[in-house]
């Protein structure tokens, strides 16, 4: 079986990939994640997912390298990782009662020949109306400061949602497993 390499240092993505019960290694790539002028969110996540995987090709011959990147979009504005309590609170107040589209870029790159499969999976979160007390309690409990959109859907963050819609809930956490299995199968990896 081809060796798999996850181009990410994210513990959330590692946990998701481990669900497929395939052996894999992981390594965080070093790339510039700055958006290009006038680059649309979908273009950005597709490019970054591919670049993350390609960045590890040189040191990992004969691997299938998985790259992923995600942005949250609220009213045409990209929400990044908040990094602080105050920025997370600001993001959640802006999301209150609104819908946020999460776009997750996914790439599978074959390091032996450079062939790549790239896609963007969308998932929409419809937030409940939130007040400052709810937001403060949530942020103090879960501290999701390293998460786009300022919540952890796999944890208490689910309590902030009115509903969700999309084909693959794992894309919300940052690695769309349903589409990844399609890509792996196309590349000759049998899952399960």
Catalytic residue check, 69: yes
Other Cβ atoms less than 10 A from the Cβ of 77: the count is 9
Q: How many CA atoms lie within 13 A of 82 on its CB side?
A: 20
CA-CA distance, 113 to 41, in Å (whole number)?
A: 28
CA-CA distance, 70 to 189, in Å (whole number)?
A: 25
| 181, 16 Cβ separation under 8 angstroms | no
Of 32, 38, 69, 110, which is the active-site residue?
A: 69
- For 69, the 3-state DSSP assignment is strand
Catalytic residues: 69
């Amino acid at each position: 079986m081809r060796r798999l390499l996850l181009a990410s240092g994210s513990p959330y993505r590692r946990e998701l990939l481990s669900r497929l019960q395939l052996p894999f290694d992981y390594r965080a790539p070093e790339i510039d994640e700055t958006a290009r002028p006038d680059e649309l969110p979908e273009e950005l996540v597709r490019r970054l997912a591919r670049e993350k995987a390609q960045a590890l090709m040189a040191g990992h011959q004969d691997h299938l390298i998985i790259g992923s990147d995600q942005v949250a979009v609220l009213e045409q504005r990209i929400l990044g990782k908040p990094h602080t309590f105050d920025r997370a609170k600001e993001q959640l107040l802006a999301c209150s009662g609104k819908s946020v589209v999460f776009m997750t870029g996914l790439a599978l790159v074959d390091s032996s020949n450079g062939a790549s499969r790239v896609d963007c999976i969308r998932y929409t979160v419809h937030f409940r109306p939130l007040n400052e007390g709810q937001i403060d309690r949530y942020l103090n409990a879960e501290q999701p400061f390293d998460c786009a959109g300022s919540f952890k859907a796999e944890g208490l963050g689910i309590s902030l949602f009115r509903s969700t819609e999309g084909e693959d809930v794992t894309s919300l956490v940052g690695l769309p497993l349903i589409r990844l299995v399609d890509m792996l199968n196309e590349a000759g990896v049998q899952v399960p």
